[in-house]
Amino acid sequence: MLTQVGGKFSVDGWDPKSCDVQAWLERSPWRTLEGTTYGVGEGGPTSHPALIEDVLVSRVYKMDIATFLTAERVSYRNIPRLVAHAPDEASQVFLVTQAVDEARHFEVFCNCLHECGLSPIQRDRLMEDVTTRELRRFYDLIDEQVDKGDFAGAMLAHNVVLEGMAYPIYRYEAAYWSVFAPRLTRLIKGAFADEVHHVLYGERIIPALRSVQPAAIG
């Protein structure tokens, strides 16, 4: 049963505070991105020479970014498709802002590989190479939940599990590249801040959904 929270949106049993467009405007477009190019400001520390001169470091750098891109591609392709299945207006609005976040992440990481000299075809090939069988199965599972219109299953798989993986992975990657590629560290931290917010929505909406089926993602 829809209820009114604050008289702004119809909401189905969860608290949309900090998940509206105003919160998004305060969080991303202005507070964290103003004065930046692809999320990074002018000046600051430069990349370590090994990033270019050391073949192994360069290869790992590209592989890590390609791995980020595989997840961001799943996100920006699927989140907009869930808007039509969202249970209330507040959810629809939040998912639209999340879709913009995911598209921005995909673009900034694509730009990193472009700066390394990779064409879109080479980038996509590298993304295929770094996608393990297990990861592909998980991505396919998210696609399946979205295809079925299973909002609860898709939210649990995507916003809680996939986005939740950013906590350990992005923290490690930000620290790992802080010396070799401080610019990438800045981008990772920016994406991580968004992912935390996406997980917050997932944690709020899942308990409010009456037909969550955890077995669907097992």
Spatial separation of the C-alpha atoms in residues 206 and 120, rounded to whole Å: 36
Q: What would you report as the CA-atom Rg of the chain, rounded to the nearest whole angstrom?
A: 18
Residue at token pair 């360069």: 58
Spatial separation of the C-alpha atoms in residues 106 and 92, rounded to whole Å: 21
pLDDT of residue 156: 96
| DSSP H or E segment with residue 120 | helix 120-130
**Amino acid at the residue 100:** V
pLDDT of residue 2: 47
Per-residue pLDDT of the chain (218 residues; tens, 9 = 90+): 445 444 577 787 888 888 888 888 888 877 778 788 888 877 777 888 988 889 999 999 999 999 999 999 999 999 999 999 999 999 999 999 999 999 999 999 999 999 999 999 999 999 999 999 999 999 999 999 999 999 999 999 999 999 999 889 999 999 999 999 999 999 999 999 999 999 999 999 999 886 444 444 44
pLDDT of residue 217: 41
pLDDT of residue 5: 47
pLDDT of residue 216: 42
- The domains of the chain, with CATH numbers, are 17-35+46-217 (1.10.620.20)
Of the candidates 12, 163, 13, the one whose C-alpha atom is nearest the C-alpha of residue 78 is 163
Spatial separation of the C-alpha atoms in residues 15 and 120, rounded to whole Å: 41
